């Protein structure tokens, strides 16, 4: 499922420098360097007599020329390398000033008629190039310069904007050229300058000759429109929304980024009526992925909505793992601005992009990297190893230096040097990869002396994150090449997070929960947070995504896991009843109106939210109830994926008694922060490596299906940012907690005389009460049991005062009304009876195979 969509830039320049520095001393290098020197000496010896034959003025002239060439060349090289070392922000300012200068020069000629040779030259270039459009060049230059200076971080925007402008200019120049009667530069260059310039001539003339002006003008208009779309980063599909946004802005109103069904102001969730919707590409992709029939398309309503559960096409490409990498620059994609309405008066607005701050721009190279290249080169020299540093990829925390071996050099010669390398670069945390996956090169990962923090905001604003609208996509961090890493928790489908204390687990969990709050409404994702340490997650108390208050007691936590198992079973029953294999299909069916309540049921069917269960310290739970926890985890992890339930288990003690074989076998994705020992690394990742990590969010990420762990620097979100997001989501909605998560905490006491017949007895009670007919032969028939068993069931019902005593051949009197059935069944099960407070169905009831009534348990998570 992992897709490396593109590889971020790899800085090779210093590698080349390292290589050349090394060139003089390594064997390969020395032969090259040597031949270079030999060549020059040979050259000078063979030409030596020649200068002597020249006259001294010629020799002087040549000497002066060579000397000045040296000075100029050396200065240029120094300026060049200085410019490379210049802060990128200053470099961008330089470009902006250049644009301003250009704008002034062009304005002087095109606006104020500067005369003379300079004026003529400027006019020849500008008007000759784009004709009358040249008059706009100063304005465009100033606008671009101001944008460059004000938003240096939007470098990729500037590239796109330039392309858009170029397309528009080409199209307009072409149109003007055609409109002016296609003047030829050979015959009438002034005419060309007064039309669309050479650019206009180049596009306008061939089109007009081939297709006539009637066809060429519409084509050029199309080109111009396309340029406009590129300039404004507007896909055609987003035009109506952009227009709506623009209209809203013009009217002075706020643009609602995303609006979702929520609940009434008093906190009561409103059931969402099934609403037909147009099927999106996401649905199609999703349906393909799950090999089920795509949801029927009900025709149809007046607008297209974004289906929150639908996997995007990009997700579907993501076959081999769960992580996705992209280079740091991001193209601003259209914000998620579709409005999903539940009731006209209720909206849920996701936190705005700006709540999370921007991080510092990523450096692809720094002086510290150059020093390391030099140190590595020296080590190879000292140990006479024919190897050279050919480049490096700088990540936020570590840089991976690429080392290529000369022919005949053993890989082991470099790997055996790890201690010397560590000594030379003054860092104990050197990690050697041989080879770098997919490359014939050894990777040496060395911590950056000037490490960078990865801001979660940047990760969530990256195109990798924005391309997918899946609500379970979270920002993970950046990889060693500086590419953003995001992951879809729904595809993990369960994740083990481990690392020594202080290594960065809690920070990751914060980033994860914040990502969910930033991207998903409570209708899309609900959470159960288990925090036995009582400090880590308290900040999230009261957010509407919670279905129960944060659980801090390990015992209750173990029991909450049992509740999760029951919730999963209930969802499965629902899926089976409606003929779906996956909760996403069910949800799509609900949204398309295909899923309707069974006849006679008053249930209002709503989509199921994903359920994310986060346990921040598995060890605490394993100490209290190892067996129960292990078996719950096993059941959940084996089945929960289709039910939309996902587990995140974190521990700072990744030892075999906490992360047991059973748990490991069922939690396929792993995220290891620095561990205190190699043994711990093996427990988490089944391989060494995590013991070499340097802490503070440095991690190895092994998503399900990935062969090799990927090194990432975890995203960082500050406490004040979390507070801002929490305040925002809390201001949107109150949590509506389910009380049966706590009810499960009471041990069930099934009466001894019922023994193994509980299931049959429940069915018998349900039959008798719902039909109000206390007949033993009916039980025999309906339950397909013998006379003796049916008689025993009837006796049990009598002993619980559900039916009256036997009246011979007549049916018994039924003492319980159908309304009281749920509490009656709970009593038989040994569960505490929860009084119905009128807000919804009372206790969670498992009706076995009975679909009609069993629905109520299953839908409870969304509708209670």
Q: Which of 505, 591, 653, 792 binds ligand ATP (CB under 6 A)?
A: 505
Which residue positions form the known binding site?
499-506
How is residue 804 written in tokens? 């009256």
Short-list 505, 520, 515, 510, CA closest to 460: 515
Compute φ and ψ for 322, nearest 5 degrees. Answer: -120, 0
292: buried, middle or exposed (CB in 10 Å: 19+, 13-18, 0-12)? middle
Q: How far is the CB of 731 from ligand ATP (least distance, A)?
A: 27
507 interacts with ligand ATP by CB under 6 A: yes
Q: How far is the CB of 367 from ligand ATP (least distance, A)?
A: 22
Q: How far is the CB of 364 from ligand ATP (least distance, A)?
A: 20
Q: Which is nearer to ligand ATP, 657 or 813 (CB)?
A: 657
Q: Provide the 3-class DSSP secondary structure of residue 25.
A: coil
Q: Provide the 3-class DSSP secondary structure of residue 592.
A: helix
Mark residues 621-660: x for contact with ligand ATP by CB under 6 A, - for none.
-------------------------------x--------
697 interacts with ligand ATP by CB under 6 A: yes
Residue 1 · residue 491 · CB < 8 Å: yes
Q: Which is nearer to ligand ATP, 129 or 714 (CB)?
A: 714
Q: How far is the CB of 325 from ligand ATP (least distance, A)?
A: 17
CA separation for the pair 748, 571 (Å, rounded):
22
Short-list 548, 518, 517, CA closest to 530: 548
Q: Which is nearer to ligand ATP, 464 or 717 (CB)?
A: 717
CA separation for the pair 559, 741 (Å, rounded):
8
Q: How far is the CB of 619 from ligand ATP (least distance, A)?
A: 10
Compute φ and ψ for 399, nearest 5 degrees. Answer: -120, 135
Q: Which is nearer to ligand ATP, 505 or 641 (CB)?
A: 505
The angle formed by the CA atoms of residues 644, 336 and 544, to the nearest 5 degrees, is 50
Mark residues 372-401: x for contact with ligand ATP by CB under 6 A, - for none.
------------------------------
669 interacts with ligand ATP by CB under 6 A: no
501 interacts with ligand ATP by CB under 6 A: yes
Q: Which H or E run contains 767?
A: helix 758-771
CA separation for the pair 210, 218 (Å, rounded):
14
Contacts of 622 (CB under 8 A, 6+ apart): 629, 630, 657, 658, 660
Q: Which of 26, 208, 448, 506 binds ligand ATP (CB under 6 A)?
A: 506
Q: How far is the CB of 462 from ligand ATP (least distance, A)?
A: 16
Size of the site for ligand ATP (CB under 6 A): 15
Q: Which is nearer to ligand ATP, 195 or 621 (CB)?
A: 621
Q: How far is the CB of 690 from ligand ATP (least distance, A)?
A: 12
Select the span of 222-230, 505-513, 597-605, 756-764 touching ligand ATP (CB under 6 A).
505-513
Q: Which is nearer to ligand ATP, 609 or 714 (CB)?
A: 714
Q: Which is nearer to ligand ATP, 141 or 475 (CB)?
A: 475
Contacts of 344 (CB under 8 A, 6+ apart): none
* Contact set for ligand ATP, span 710-729 (CB under 6 A): 714, 716
**DSSP 8-state symbol, 320:** S
701 interacts with ligand ATP by CB under 6 A: no
410: buried, middle or exposed (CB in 10 Å: 19+, 13-18, 0-12)? exposed
Q: How far is the CB of 720 from ligand ATP (least distance, A)?
A: 14
Long-range contacts: 584-588, Cβ < 8 Å, 24+? 584/286, 584/290, 584/309, 584/310, 584/311, 584/644, 585/287, 585/290, 585/292, 585/295, 587/309, 588/283, 588/286, 588/287, 588/295, 588/307, 588/309, 588/310
Select the span of 372-380, 497-505, 630-638, 817-825 touching ligand ATP (CB under 6 A).
497-505
Q: Which is nearer to ligand ATP, 532 or 697 (CB)?
A: 697
773: buried, middle or exposed (CB in 10 Å: 19+, 13-18, 0-12)? middle
Q: Which of 379, 430, 472, 503 binds ligand ATP (CB under 6 A)?
A: 503
696 interacts with ligand ATP by CB under 6 A: yes
CA separation for the pair 71, 88 (Å, rounded):
27
CA separation for the pair 368, 452 (Å, rounded):
13
Q: Which of 174, 295, 504, 774 binds ligand ATP (CB under 6 A)?
A: 504
How is residue 234 written in tokens? 């507007």
Q: Which of 267, 502, 549, 755 binds ligand ATP (CB under 6 A)?
A: 502
Q: How far is the CB of 185 from ligand ATP (least distance, A)?
A: 60
Select the span of 26-34, 499-507, 582-590, 822-830 touching ligand ATP (CB under 6 A).
499-507
Q: How far is the CB of 712 from ligand ATP (least distance, A)?
A: 9
**DSSP 8-state symbol, 326:** E
The angle formed by the CA atoms of residues 346, 349 and 354, to the nearest 5 degrees, is 160
Select the span of 103-111, 375-383, 498-506, 548-556 touching ligand ATP (CB under 6 A).
498-506
Q: Which H or E run contains 484?
A: strand 484-488
- DSSP readout, 265-303? TTSPBPPPPP---PPPHHHHHHHHHHTSPPPP-----SS
Q: Which is nearer to ligand ATP, 563 or 673 (CB)?
A: 673
Select the span of 109-117, 482-490, 503-511, 730-738 touching ligand ATP (CB under 6 A).
503-511
515 interacts with ligand ATP by CB under 6 A: no
SS (H, E, C) 780-841: HHHHCCCHHHHHHHHHHHHHCCCECCCECCECECECCCHHHHHHHHHHHHCCCCCCCCCCCC
Q: Which is nearer to ligand ATP, 470 or 505 (CB)?
A: 505
499 interacts with ligand ATP by CB under 6 A: yes
Q: How far is the CB of 551 from ligand ATP (least distance, A)?
A: 17
Distances (CA, A) of 498 to 54, 397, 656, 780, 806: 78, 19, 12, 55, 63
Helix axes 367-382, 13-23, angle to 10 degrees: 30
480 interacts with ligand ATP by CB under 6 A: no
CA separation for the pair 43, 396 (Å, rounded):
48
CA separation for the pair 601, 224 (Å, rounded):
57
Provide the edge-to-edge strand list for the sheet that holds 431-433: 387-394, 398-405, 442-447, 431-433
Q: Which is nearer to ligand ATP, 506 or 863 (CB)?
A: 506
CA separation for the pair 672, 691 (Å, rounded):
9
Q: How far is the CB of 163 from ligand ATP (least distance, A)?
A: 35
Q: How far is the CB of 650 from ligand ATP (least distance, A)?
A: 8
74 interacts with ligand ATP by CB under 6 A: no
Select the span of 110-118, 332-340, 496-504, 766-774 touching ligand ATP (CB under 6 A).
496-504
Select the span of 212-220, 287-295, 501-509, 582-590 touching ligand ATP (CB under 6 A).
501-509
Mark residues 442-471: x for contact with ligand ATP by CB under 6 A, - for none.
-----------x------------------
Using Cβ positions, the residue closest to ligand ATP within the complex turns out to be 697
Q: How far is the CB of 538 from ligand ATP (least distance, A)?
A: 13
Which residue positions form the known binding site for ATP?
499-506
Q: Which is nearer to ligand ATP, 185 or 695 (CB)?
A: 695
Select the span of 93-101, 171-179, 495-503, 570-578 touching ligand ATP (CB under 6 A).
495-503
Cis ω on the peptide bond leading into residue 493 (within 30° of 0)? yes
Q: How far is the CB of 502 from ligand ATP (least distance, A)?
A: 4
Site for ligand ATP, rule CB under 6 A: 453, 499, 501-507, 652, 673, 696-697, 714, 716
């Amino acid at each position: 499922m992992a897709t490396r969509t593109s590889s971020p830039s790899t800085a090779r320049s210093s590698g080349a420098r390292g290589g050349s520095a090394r060139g003089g001393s390594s064997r390969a290098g020395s032969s090259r360097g040597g031949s270079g020197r030999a060549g020059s000496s040979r050259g000078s010896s063979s030409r030596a007599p020649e200068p002597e034959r020249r006259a001294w003025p010629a020799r002087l002239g040549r000497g002066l020329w060579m000397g000045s060439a040296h000075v100029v060349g050396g200065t240029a090289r120094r300026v060049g390398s200085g410019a490379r070392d210049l802060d990128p922000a200053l470099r961008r300012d330089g470009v902006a000033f250049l644009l301003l200068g250009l704008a002034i020069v062009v304005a002087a000629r095109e606006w104020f008629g500067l005369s003379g040779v300079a004026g003529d030259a400027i006019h020849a270039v500008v008007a000759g190039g784009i004709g009358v459009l040249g008059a706009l060049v100063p304005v465009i230059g100033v606008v671009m310069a101001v944008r460059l200076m004000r938003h240096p971080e939007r470098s990729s925007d500037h590239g796109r904007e330039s392309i858009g402008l170029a397309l528009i200019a080409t199209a307009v120049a072409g149109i003007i050229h055609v409109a002016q009667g296609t003047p030829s530069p050979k015959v009438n260059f002034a005419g060309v300058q007064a039309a669309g310039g050479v650019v206009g001539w180049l596009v306008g003339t061939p089109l007009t000759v081939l297709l006539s002006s009637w066809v060429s003008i519409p084509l050029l208009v199309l080109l111009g429109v396309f340029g406009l779309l590129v300039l404004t980063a507007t896909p055609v599909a987003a035009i109506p929304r952009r227009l709506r946004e623009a209209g809203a802005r013009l009217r002075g109103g706020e643009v609602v980024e995303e609006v979702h069904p929520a609940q009434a102001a008093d906190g009561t969730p409103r059931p969402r009526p099934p609403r037909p919707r147009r099927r999106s590409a996401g649905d199609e992709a999703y349906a393909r992925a799950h090999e089920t029939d795509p949801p029927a398309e009900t025709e149809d309503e007046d607008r297209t909505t974004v289906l929150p559960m639908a996997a995007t096409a990009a997700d579907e490409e993501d076959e081999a793992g769960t992580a996705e990498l992209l280079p740091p620059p991001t193209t601003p994609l259209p914000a998620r601005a579709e409005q999903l309405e539940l009731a006209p008066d209720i909206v849920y607005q996701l936190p705005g992009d700006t709540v999370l701050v921007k991080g510092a721009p990523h450096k692809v190279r720094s002086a510290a990297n150059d020093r390391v290249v030099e140190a590595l080169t020296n080590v190879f020299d000292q140990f006479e190893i024919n190897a050279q540093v050919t480049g490096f990829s700088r990540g936020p925390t570590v840089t991976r230096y690429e080392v290529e071996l000369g022919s005949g050099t053993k890989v082991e010669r470099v790997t055996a040097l790890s201690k010397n390398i560590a000594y030379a670069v003054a860092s104990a945390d050197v990690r050697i990869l041989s080879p770098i996956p997919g490359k014939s090169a050894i990777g040496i990962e060395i911590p950056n002396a000037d490490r960078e923090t990865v801001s979660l905001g940047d990760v969530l604003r990256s195109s990798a994150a924005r391309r997918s609208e899946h609500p379970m996509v979270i920002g993970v961090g950046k990889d060693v090449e500086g590419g953003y890493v995001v992951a879809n928790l729904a595809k993990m489908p369960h994740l083990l997070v481990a690392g020594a204390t202080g290594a960065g687990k809690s920070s990751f969990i914060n980033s994860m929960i914040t990502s969910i709050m930033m991207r998903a409404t409570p209708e899309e994702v609900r959470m159960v947070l288990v925090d036995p340490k009582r400090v880590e997650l308290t900040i999230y108390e009261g957010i509407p995504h919670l279905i129960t208050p944060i659980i801090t007691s390990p015992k209750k936590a173990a029991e909450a896991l049992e509740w999760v198992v029951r919730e999963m079973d209930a969802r499965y029953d629902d899926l089976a009843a409606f003929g779906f294999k996956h909760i996403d299909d069910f949800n799509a069916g609900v949204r398309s109106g295909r899923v309707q309540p069974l006849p006679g049921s008053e249930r209002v069917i709503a989509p199921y939210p994903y359920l994310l269960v986060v346990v921040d310290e598995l060890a605490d739970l394993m100490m209290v109830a190892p067996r129960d926890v292990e078996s719950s985890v096993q059941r959940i992890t084996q089945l929960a994926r289709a039910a939309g339930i996902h587990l995140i288990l974190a521990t700072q003690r990744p030892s075999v008694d906490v992360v047991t074989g059973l748990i490991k076998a069922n939690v396929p994705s792993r995220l290891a922060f620095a561990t205190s020992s190699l043994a711990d690394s093996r427990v988490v990742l089944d391989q060494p490596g995590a013991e070499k990590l340097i802490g503070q969010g440095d991690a190895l990420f092994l998503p399900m299906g990935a062969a090799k762990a990927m090194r990432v620097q975890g995203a960082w979100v500050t406490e004040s940012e979390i507070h801002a997001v929490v305040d925002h989501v809390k201001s949107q909605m109150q949590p509506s907690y389910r009380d049966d998560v706590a009810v499960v905490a009471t041990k069930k006491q099934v009466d001894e005389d019922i023994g193994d017949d509980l299931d049959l007895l429940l069915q018998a009670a349900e039959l008798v009460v719902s039909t109000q007919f206390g007949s033993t032969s009916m039980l025999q028939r309906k339950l397909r049991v013998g006379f003796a068993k049916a008689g025993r069931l009837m006796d049990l019902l009598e002993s619980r005062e559900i039916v009256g005593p036997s009246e011979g051949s007549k049916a018994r009197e039924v003492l319980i009304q159908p309304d009281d059935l749920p509490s009656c069944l709970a009593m038989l099960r040994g569960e505490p009876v929860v009084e119905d407070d009128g807000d919804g169905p009372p206790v969670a009831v498992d009706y076995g195979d009975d679909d009609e009534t069993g629905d109520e348990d299953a839908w409870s998570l969304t509708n209670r």
